[in-house]
Amino acid sequence: MIGLAACSAGGGGSDSDTVVWSTWGTPEELTRFEEFNDEFMKRHPDITVELQPVASYSDYHSKLLAQLTSNTAPDVFYVGDDMLGQFVDSGRLMPLTELMESDASQTKPDDFFPGLFGAAESEGEVYAAPNDSNPDVFFYDKQALAAAGITEDPATLAESGEWTTDKFLEMNDKLAAAGLTGSMFWNYWATHYSWISSQGGTAYDDSGEFVGNSDATTVDAVDTLGSYFQDGTFVVADVLPEGAGADSLFVTHQAGFFSQGRYTIGTLESAGVQDDYDIVRWPTPDGAEAPTGVAASYLAIDANTDASDAAFTFWTEFLSAEGQTFRLEGAGNAVPSIQGADEVVLDAGYPAHAQTFLDMRDIGFANYPSEARVPGLSGDISELFLGLYQGKSDAQGTLDAVADLIAENTGE
């Protein structure tokens, strides 16, 4: 164990440490976490690990904040990318840089893909690290494309540098003309910022200031995005009616493209239609690849934990290449955030262009730190974009409203 002043979570004098950790997750994910706990305790019989799951993501962070305030928080815990900045700024997360660089670490800072840290870094210190990642690729339905008379394959076009915005929009137009949905998107930060970045626009500058409303390329890109939602070619997955949700539309070949993460594989396999689908990166004006958003959650340690050594041992093994491989192999629902675990994505040979997940992760970016530091800000910005998608505002008005909202919340 590393040289921290550690004692048992149950009080001094105990021969073992107990690490309580918390997360949200599906039943399948929680089962895999319990399996990881069992394997960890076999390797470390002096450490007891207890999982404290919270069923709802919407309830998770408020409960965790209350636990931190009352000093009853778990030793190790997940934090969502839309809440991470608030937790970092709270001063309740253990600084990790020195520990990560120590001999006890299986997770050196340079082992992670740098674009994924986002708000986990502050003033040169790391306070959390990404558990894994999920770049939003475009899953596409080859059967739906064929039904719309589309003969070109998006992934093949991407390989030859011909996956352009014009080509993507042309396919969407053909899908709509055939009575199908063109593309489905979730309304959150990675959708609007990925579209902006892939089209050559700039949402935030290098200093962290929002400049999207004054950048002509960004305004034009958002105008195009809004127009395709407004005419129904693009669909907001969040507001589809119950019983006719995005997954249902996609597996029944009623939509051409769906922007989602690796977890979509499980949906397609459950429906028995996986052979009809492949993936492609976001299109760009010139056909070259561009950085786009990568969703992630993060693992942090309570700065006041009574089991510091054991907590870091668990933390570093959970995030290590071996740990991520264990958690993500088979029907894993995410992409590793650390070097040395990529085969977990490639070994299954599905989808045919699975390397796209890795390529997009390598150059992608987490939610912008200046936005992620303000609780609820990303969600409020998404509501403004929803107004654009529903035809209640135009591109310039939406971006101006976003700029005003950010200024109100950050004082900039």
Which DSSP state fits 136? -
- For position 56, what pLDDT does the model report? 87
Place of tokens 């390797």: 43
- For position 179, what pLDDT does the model report? 98
Number of H helices, E strands in the chain: 18, 12
Report the Cα–Cα distance between both ends of the chain, in Å, rounded: 44
The contacts of residue 282 (CB under 8 Å, 6+ apart) are 138, 194, 195, 198, 290, 292
Residue 1 confidence (pLDDT) above 70: no
Q: What's the average model confidence in pLDDT over 111-124? A: 94
Q: H-helix or E-strand containing 165? A: helix 165-177
Domains in the chain: ranges and CATH: 17-133+295-363 (3.40.190.10), 137-292+374-410 (3.40.190.10)
9: pLDDT confidence band, cut at 50, 70 and 90? very low
Residue 328, CA distances (Å) to 40, 104, 156, 319 in order: 16, 23, 27, 11
Residue 53 confidence (pLDDT) above 60: yes
Residue 313 backbone class (left: φ over 0; alpha: ψ -120 to 50; beta: rest) = alpha
CA–centroid distance for 363 within its chain = 14
The contacts of residue 354 (CB under 8 Å, 6+ apart) are 279, 345, 346, 348
330: pLDDT confidence band, cut at 50, 70 and 90? confident
What Rg do the C-alpha atoms of the chain give, in angstroms?
22
Residue 268 confidence (pLDDT) above 90: yes
- Quick: pLDDT tens for 11-48: 332 335 899 999 998 888 899 999 999 999 999 999 99
Beta-strand runs (E) in 40-113? 47-53, 76-80
Residue 10 confidence (pLDDT) above 90: no
- Quick: pLDDT tens for 61-97: 999 999 999 999 999 999 999 889 989 999 999 999 9
Residue 190 confidence (pLDDT) above 60: yes
Residue 206 confidence (pLDDT) above 60: yes
Rounded to 5°, angle at Cα 119 from 385 and 135: 60
- For position 331, what pLDDT does the model report? 60
- For position 332, what pLDDT does the model report? 67
Sign of the dihedral defined by the CA atoms of residues 176, 179, 182, 184, in that order: positive
Percentage of the chain modeled with pLDDT above 90: 87
- For position 326, what pLDDT does the model report? 94
- For position 15, what pLDDT does the model report? 35
Q: What's the average model confidence in pLDDT over 348-352? A: 92
Task: Please name the amino acid found at residue 359.
Answer: D
- For position 14, what pLDDT does the model report? 33
Rounded to 5°, angle at Cα 185 from 180 and 188: 160
* Burial class of residue 267, CB neighbours in 10 A (0-12, 13-18, 19+): buried
Q: Half-sphere exposure of residue 191, counting CA atoms within 13 Å on the CB side?
A: 25
- Quick: pLDDT tens for 127-171: 999 999 999 999 999 999 999 999 999 999 999 999 999 999 999
Q: What's the average model confidence in pLDDT over 359-376? A: 93
Can you give the pTM of this predicted structure? 0.92
412: pLDDT confidence band, cut at 50, 70 and 90? low
Place of tokens 């933390």: 315
Q: For residues 275 and 349, what is the distance between their CA atoms, to the nearest angstrom? A: 12
Determine which of 175-184, 218-227, 358-367, 368-377 has the lowest per-residue pLDDT on average. Answer: 368-377
Q: Half-sphere exposure of residue 292, counting CA atoms within 13 Å on the CB side?
A: 29
